[in-house]
């Protein structure tokens, strides 16, 4: 099969085309036609033949493990920071691991253990954001206490964390009260 070169897409002096034909021998409008597959829907993963997603108790267990890992990281971070703080300690720094442990690991471990319904994605994401804000706020407050200073701005972390936790609870309650058809 021969491809005729237009002046716009020919290599200078060779008379050859710089565009490659697609599977039907026609030029594709997409510059990435060999990667795009059969359509835009290929960009999203497909479910397996049975259409079954991951079991909810397994997903809740993995979320609980992620929060346990975050709590462990907080313990290690606080321990290392306290080593280099020259004997100055902060309760906020030492206890920062409790936020991901008590608010994240324990609830999702109970959901996994008793096979309770998993909260919606929006509620889980808002909940995670609230836990992150509380944990970072505790770490920030601990750093300030170890350094020997204070800041009125440290309260913002705790207010933002509490607000997003409340928003997560409201989002979950709204989906329970007004379920989608």
Per-residue pLDDT of the chain in tens (181 residues, 90 and over written 9): 555 555 455 555 555 555 555 444 554 454 444 444 444 433 334 444 444 567 777 999 999 999 999 999 999 999 999 999 988 999 999 999 999 999 999 999 999 999 999 999 999 999 999 999 999 999 999 999 999 999 999 999 999 999 999 999 999 999 999 998 6
Q: What sign results for the dihedral spanned by CA atoms 155, 156, 157, 162?
A: positive
3-state secondary structure of 17: strand
pLDDT recorded at residue 31: 47
């Amino acid at each position: 099969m021969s491809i005729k070169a237009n002046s716009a897409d020919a290599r200078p002096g060779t008379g050859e085309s710089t565009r490659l034909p697609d599977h039907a021998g026609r030029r594709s409008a997409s510059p990435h036609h060999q990667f795009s597959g059969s359509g835009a829907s290929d960009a999203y993963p497909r479910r397996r033949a049975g259409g079954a997603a991951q079991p909810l108790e397994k997903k809740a267990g993995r979320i609980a493990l992620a929060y346990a890992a975050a709590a462990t990281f907080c313990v290690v971070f606080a321990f290392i920071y306290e080593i280099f703080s020259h004997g100055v300690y902060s309760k906020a720094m030492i206890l920062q691991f409790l936020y991901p442990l008590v608010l994240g690991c324990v609830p999702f471990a109970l959901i996994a253990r008793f096979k309770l319904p998993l909260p919606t994605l929006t509620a889980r994401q808002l909940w995670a954001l609230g836990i992150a804000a509380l944990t970072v706020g505790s770490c920030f407050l601990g750093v300030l206490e170890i350094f020997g200073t204070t800041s009125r701005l440290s309260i913002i972390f705790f207010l933002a964390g509490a607000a997003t936790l409340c928003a997560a609870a409201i989002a979950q309650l709204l989906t329970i009260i007004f379920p989608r058809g």
